[in-house]
Structure 1
């Protein structure tokens, strides 16, 4: 099992310095954000698509540091009812093309979230069957927006030999195991999961149970944690407050071991091995309680310990 980094975690650093820092931490893989919700701080997808020299330069920089690309990340909302949707749809298809050119097998992205009807201008996340119009909205979303995007996109990915790793995330149409399997049953095994325990945790789920349920559908893994705060005892887990300041929130994203105990992460790594996943865990840092380099180093140390211990017990 290998440890990588979503390089947005070092977004303030230029590319070469970012890669140097990744190598210094002893990591072996990188995951580049290409746009959408990422500012794409390190690579320009238009330049890489247009220029073989730029692609060779990037590959050379990686090779010099013994690094490989675990995935390209184009997370955005291709189902958004405004022009955002069209832009992110283009980004998704461009990412397929770039992945083929770079020889990267996996693309990490989110499912997207459509509006609640043809005249709406904002995405609508349905989380309850009541009031009753919620069920009509949900079915309209799937039949008129979700599947019309995902069926041809999954077909295009299959034709190019790429695997799509959908991250189960709140305020997306795919946010848990059940909603993922609804999509997979409709579009086939080209679509799997980018398993990120942090989102499941803040929604009240259990990572071990989810790993067992997903099994071989897990194609890529994010190393990110959540901590449930004391405020959740008063207000529950739904929290629309901004991610900063962290004080006063019901939950926060944290570096590994600061939400789920280290032994809990060991159980996660063991469970991944048990279902046959022996690949990259890509650290995605969104811990706003400490400097980014400290949070990433802490997560790397936690993961390295858990991987070593899981190898001893296997």
Structure 2
């Protein structure tokens, strides 16, 4: 396995300065935002696709520092019921697939998105209960009319470009759990897989080790994020796991994102890494830092230090003892 970072946290630095800092920490890979929610501070598809020289220089800047690109990420909502919002998100996903093909990057990460509840809807509707039955009707319409048709088309586009799509399982979007990911994969093809982030499993009440096993058995883990979550045992009783308070209201929230090792101990993280190895995932573990209690540098540095202790880097080889 290799250790990387989602560079959006260094968006305030010029690309080469950010790359120097990342390389100085001993990392192997970078994940770059190309638009949507992460922005494109370091990797603008329009600029790079229009100029072969800039594309070549961009690739050299990364590779000359001993780094690789693990994924291009354009998390967005291409299924938003408002066309003025959905169309730019769809466009950036398509451009990012083309750019990934040009750069020989194997994975594009994004969200599945979430539609509204009918053709004239204005806002997304995320059903989370099977009753009243209206929610089942909404869910059926969303998947049959929006989710499956859209991702079937994008999956075919990605496959033709020799690129895999890593959907991040995130609450608020149609694909948010191992079962919803596998449902879409069955319908839209094997180019669709997960960008698995344990932090979103924990707050949904899902054991990330079991999520790795469920998805890994299906060959459906295309990329992996390293981010932690802490659950407040008191506040969760007041607000539940679907706590709608702002992330900034940390003292009262039911859960919050933490850097690796500050929500769950390193034994838990070692179990996750071991399970990834067990199901055959031998790609990049990409740090995502969204810890409201730590600065960018401290949160990132502690994640690096903690993951270096549990990451399994070397090939196993033969079991010499059997």
Coarse TM-score class (shorter-chain normalised): over 0.9
The aligned residue for residue 39 of structure 1 is 39
The 5 A counterparts of 1:14-29 are: 14-29=14-29
- C-alpha offsets along residues 6-57 of structure 1, whole Å, 9 cap, x if unaligned? 0012122121111111101111100001111112221211101101111111
Cα separation, 1, equivalents of 2:281 and 2:231: 27
Cα separation, 1, equivalents of 2:299 and 2:72: 22
The aligned residue for residue 193 of structure 1 is 194
The aligned residue for residue 278 of structure 1 is 282
Cα separation, 2, equivalents of 1:311 and 1:69: 21
Cα separation, 2, equivalents of 1:99 and 1:311: 27
How many angstroms does 1:63 deviate by? Answer: 1.9
Q: Residues 40 and 65 (structure 1 numbering): CA distance in 2 closer, same or farther, change over 3 Å?
A: same
Moved over 6 A (4+): 309-312
The aligned residue for residue 228 of structure 1 is 231
How many angstroms does 1:180 deviate by? Answer: 0.8
Q: Is the 8 A contact 1:269 1:310 kept in 2?
A: no
How many angstroms does 1:308 deviate by? Answer: 5.0
Cα separation, 2, equivalents of 1:261 and 1:74: 30
Confirm whether residue 298 of structure 1 aligns to residue 299 of structure 2: no
How many angstroms does 1:252 deviate by? Answer: 0.5
Counterpart secondary structure, 2:114: coil
Residue ranges of structure 2 left out of the alignment (5+ in a row): none
Report how many aligned residue pairs link the two structures. 313
Q: Is the 8 A contact 2:112 2:175 kept in 1?
A: yes
How many angstroms does 1:235 deviate by? Answer: 2.4
Residue ranges of structure 1 left out of the alignment (5+ in a row): none
How many angstroms does 1:310 deviate by? Answer: 9.3
Counterpart secondary structure, 1:36: coil
The 5 A counterparts of 1:157-176 are: 157-176=158-177
Q: 2:265 aligns with which of 261, 284, 288?
A: 261
Counterpart secondary structure, 2:311: helix
Which deviates further from its counterpart, 99-108 or 242-251?
Answer: 242-251
Cα separation, 2, equivalents of 1:311 and 1:226: 30
The aligned residue for residue 202 of structure 1 is 203
Cα separation, 2, equivalents of 1:308 and 1:273: 8
Q: Is the 8 A contact 2:81 2:122 kept in 1?
A: yes
Cα separation, 1, equivalents of 2:138 and 2:187: 19
Q: TM-score, normalised by structure 2?
A: 0.94
The aligned residue for residue 64 of structure 2 is 64
Q: TM-score, normalised by structure 1?
A: 0.97
Q: What is the Cα-based RMSD across aligned positions, in Å? A: 1.5
Cα separation, 2, equivalents of 1:114 and 1:308: 39
